[in-house]
Amino acid sequence: MDTIQLILVAVFGLSALINLAQLSFYFVNRIVLARTGRPVAMTAWPSVDVCIPARDEQPNIERCVRSFMAQDYPGGFRITVLDDESSDRTAEIVNALAKEDPRVNLIDGRLEPLPPGWIGKVWANTRMGRAAKGDYLLFVDADTFFDADMLRNAIACAHQSANPPVGLFSGYLRFEQSTFWEGSLMASFFTSQHMLPLPLALRRKAGGPAPGHWHMFKREIYEQVGGYAKVWDKVLDDMETSGLVNRAGFQTRLLPLERWGGVRMYRTFGEIWWGVQKSIGYTLQKSWLNALGVCAAMTLGGVLPFAAPALGFWRGFTSPETLLAFVALGAILLWRALIQRDQTGPWWGFLTHPIMAIFLALNGLHGVAALKFGIGVVWKGRRYDGKRPPAAPNVGSGANG
């Protein structure tokens, strides 16, 4: 082999390894989710408090709440929405729904404004957790929506025996994808599920994948670990909550939620960019090295394999480097096609994988730069930059705020 061929074999060989690993993790994780998605026979159904934080959610809140109003759950449950100082018709819509169904309750966020330093969603969840009375607490985002059997299936699956006990249930919903940018880029939110085998990822003391759009706790465990009040200043509240649960000696478990519900998070390129931006810098621990590592991984694993046909014309279709490139490309296409099927995404989504890879690389660099240079991140009209003051007295500890 000449020098050029050695370099190409090394580069595309590494690319093939990265993508074959992700493909294998996909199959491991689907086996795990199939097991956690097996309901057990129930003789009595626990009560559930459904908690929905909502800030300027006029386009989403009615579909979310109505999907809970339509649940066929055999036990008792109530639906609480905390209107987090919305400037739109969110509260008005919820009040109208409450007149239709006495299980719907609205909390006015203005009665207890956001304390200094707190993350808005975390404060909303803390307040709803304080008011909840059910055996289980289910926290969901306002942009989610569910099939009528979701709550029944989730509770039945949550009653599987586990040692150590499960402290936090979460999972990935179906991502509703109607626009080109949704079909191309929303995969960046759920491909992280397959970066590591779930049995390993979920045991991390620092927290594993536990998407914050759906968190369910047994009430006594929620109170024992301290609830959301223990992650009061964390933008990555979902991962931090998983770490909190794991450090307390409990498990984080994912359920196959895509069977039972969906989420419409963002619609435009700008919404997706800033939606990822609000957390990616913290995910990368504000580190340039980690950001550059993501750029390298996205280039090697997500972009270069799509040069396989061109490489074949240049180096020959039977050359080792070309064969490795096609192995990497085949692994990507199969992996993304399987994910698109699970998420009911557009059929063509897997073909736009390089766009997603470039998007994540650039967004990671921008996210770290925003935190390094003190710009911070802005979400729902609030700025978070890691330089917040301490929590106000008497609200920064304990599950009840």
Residue range 347-376, pLDDT digits in tens = 888 889 999 999 999 999 999 999 988 888
Q: What is the rounded distance in angstroms from the CA atom of residue 140 to the CA atom of residue 170?
A: 10
Q: What is the rounded distance in angstroms from the CA atom of residue 328 to the CA atom of residue 15?
A: 6
| Of 62 and 191, the one with more pLDDT | 62
pLDDT of residue 387: 56
Range of the domain at 344: 3-28+272-383
In-domain check, residue 400 = no
List of residues 6+ apart from 196 with CB closer than 8 A: 25
In-domain check, residue 185 = yes
Task: Tell me the pLDDT tens digit for each residue of 15-62.
Answer: 999 999 999 999 998 898 889 999 999 999 999 999 999 999 999 999
Region 118-138 average pLDDT: 95
The CATH number of whichever domain residue 206 belongs to comes to: 3.90.550.10
pLDDT of residue 394: 44
3-class DSSP assignment, residue 379? strand
DSSP string across 146-208: E-TTHHHHHHHHHTS--SSPEEEEE-PPEE---SHHHHHHTHHHHGGGGSS-HHHHTT-TT--
Q: How is residue 304 written in tokens?
A: 């270069």
In-domain check, residue 401 = no
Same domain, 282 and 242: no
Same domain, 176 and 99: yes
If one counts the domains in the chain, the total is 2
Region 120-149 average pLDDT: 95
Same domain, 90 and 202: yes
Region 320-332 average pLDDT: 96
Same domain, 254 and 277: no
Average pLDDT, the chain: 90
pLDDT of residue 49: 97
From 269, 300, 316, the end of a domain falls on: 269
Region 96-101 average pLDDT: 96
Residue 85: pLDDT band with limits 50, 70, 90: very high
In-domain check, residue 246 = yes
Task: Tell me the pLDDT tens digit for each residue of 257-314.
Answer: 999 999 998 889 999 999 888 888 888 889 999 999 999 999 999 999 999 999 999 9
Same domain, 235 and 289: no
Same domain, 241 and 320: no
Region 231-252 average pLDDT: 91
Same domain, 23 and 51: no
pLDDT of residue 382: 82
Which of 37, 33, 16 minimizes the C-alpha distance to 335?
16
Same domain, 178 and 325: no
Quote the Cα angle for 278-233-219, to 5°. 105
Same domain, 336 and 227: no
Same domain, 141 and 51: yes
Q: What is the rounded distance in angstroms from the CA atom of residue 283 to the CA atom of residue 210?
A: 13
In-domain check, residue 130 = yes
Task: Tell me the pLDDT tens digit for each residue of 201-233.
Answer: 777 777 778 889 999 999 999 999 999 999 998
From 269, 297, 327, the end of a domain falls on: 269
In-domain check, residue 199 = yes
Percent pLDDT > 70 in the chain is 95
From 219, 251, 269, the end of a domain falls on: 269
Same domain, 290 and 209: no
56: left (phi over 0), alpha (psi -120 to 50) or beta: left
| Of 172 and 150, the one with more pLDDT | 150
In-domain check, residue 92 = yes
Q: Is the pLDDT of residue 112 over 60?
A: yes
The secondary structure of residue 390, as a DSSP letter, is P
Q: Is the pLDDT of residue 399 over 50?
A: no
Distances (CA, A) of 129 to 49, 178, 349, 390: 9, 34, 38, 22
pLDDT of residue 193: 62
In-domain check, residue 217 = yes
Does the pTM surpass 0.85? The reply is yes
Same domain, 123 and 183: yes
